[in-house]
């Protein structure tokens, strides 16, 4: 019993920086603009690329976890998250920071399904599992809510890269403890990854967002914006068609026909 809850602490600990990083840069725009010379459009990408890439990669990373086991996925995701945090903290330019944030998002996309699968595997009892899921959800929402506050405090006293450096010691602790106290899970090598579907979804989202931001800023001619928007829409349409016909689904599109999901209540 003790090892179960200790493993939960480890799982929750690595989820904290994942949640914080979604909002920690919301107060850093003026600092990044002055330090890195980031334009308004680059600032938007620095902030948004994390959530966009993470949303597109969570599902295939969940399939990867089924294939190799959630403990390995947790270790891989945590390691990538820590290395990407170092790259982001010492980014010499806005483009470098955008790429580092995208890499952070891939690490986060590994951590999220690994933590949920870990809870499902660790807690067989329904009551204990519900408590663990409640703790996980509270940490996620709390981390996102406190992200701007933590970012503001760090920027007030340290340089802007400190908002990423705080992830590194957490990752080191998690990797060290997880190697000993988190149990291994048997993987399923036959599980398909559907990486191409994930890439298509991410490309569609990025093109749609890019066209919207560029249209508002006026950085491209109207026909280029229209082409970008159309390409994103076509990719999204193809992705939906593939999911409707696929034998192994990445997203069950029929869920979006459910009244509760459509209405939100």
Q: Could you read off the pLDDT of 6-57 as tens digits, one per residue?
A: 888 888 898 998 988 888 887 777 788 878 887 777 888 888 888 888 887 8
Cα(first)–Cα(last) distance of the chain, in Å? 36
Provide DSSP, 148-163.
HHHHHHHHHHS-TTHH
Q: How far is CA 127 from CA 20, 119, 185, in A?
A: 28, 12, 22
Q: How many angstroms separate the CA atoms of 74 and 144, rounded?
A: 20
Where does the pLDDT of residue 253 fall: very low under 50, low under 70, confident under 90, or very high at 90 and above? confident
Q: pLDDT tier at 104 (50, 70, 90 boundaries)?
A: very high
The burial class, CB within 10 Å (0-12 / 13-18 / 19+), for 262 is exposed
In angstroms, the CA 218 to CA 201 distance is 25
Cα distances from 16 to residues 42, 66, 78, 119, in angstroms, run: 26, 23, 12, 15
Handedness of CA 219, 224, 228, 230 (dihedral sign): positive
**What is the mean predicted confidence (pLDDT) over 87-113?**
92
* Tens of pLDDT, residues 50-96: 888 888 788 888 888 888 888 899 999 999 999 999 999 998 888 89
Contact 197, 243 (CB under 8 A): yes
| DSSP for residue 193 | -
Q: Are 45 and 25 in contact (CB under 8 A)?
A: no
* Banded model confidence at residue 103, pLDDT cuts 50, 70, 90: very high
């Amino acid at each position: 019993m003790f090892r179960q809850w200790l493993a939960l602490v480890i799982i929750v600990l690595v989820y904290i920086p994942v949640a914080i990083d979604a909002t920690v840069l919301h107060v850093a725009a003026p600092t990044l603009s002055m330090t890195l010379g980031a334009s308004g459009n680059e600032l938007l990408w620095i902030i948004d690329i994390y959530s966009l890439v993470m949303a597109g990669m969570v599902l295939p990373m969940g399939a990867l976890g089924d294939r190799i086991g959630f403990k390995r996925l947790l270790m891989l995701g945590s390691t990538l998250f820590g290395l990407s945090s170092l790259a982001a903290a010492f980014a010499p330019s806005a483009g470098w920071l955008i790429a580092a944030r995208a890499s952070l998002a891939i690490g986060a996309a590994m951590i999220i399904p690994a933590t949920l699968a870990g809870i499902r595997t660790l807690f067989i009892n329904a009551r204990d599992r519900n408590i663990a899921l409640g703790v996980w959800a509270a940490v996620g929402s709390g981390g996102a809510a406190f992200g701007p506050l933590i970012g503001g405090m760090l920027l007030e006293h340290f340089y802007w890269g400190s908002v990423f450096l705080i992830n590194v010691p957490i990752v080191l602790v998690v990797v060290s403890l997880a190697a000993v106290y988190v149990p291994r899970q048997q993987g399923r090598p036959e599980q398909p990854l559907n990486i191409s579907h994930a890439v298509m979804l991410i490309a569609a989202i990025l093109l749609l967002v890019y066209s919207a931001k560029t249209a508002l800023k006026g950085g491209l001619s109207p026909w280029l914006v229209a082409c970008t928007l159309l390409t994103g829409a076509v990719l999204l349409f193809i992705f939906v068609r593939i999911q409707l016909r696929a034998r192994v689904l990445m997203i069950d599109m029929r869920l979006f026909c459910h009244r509760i999901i459509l209405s939100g209540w």
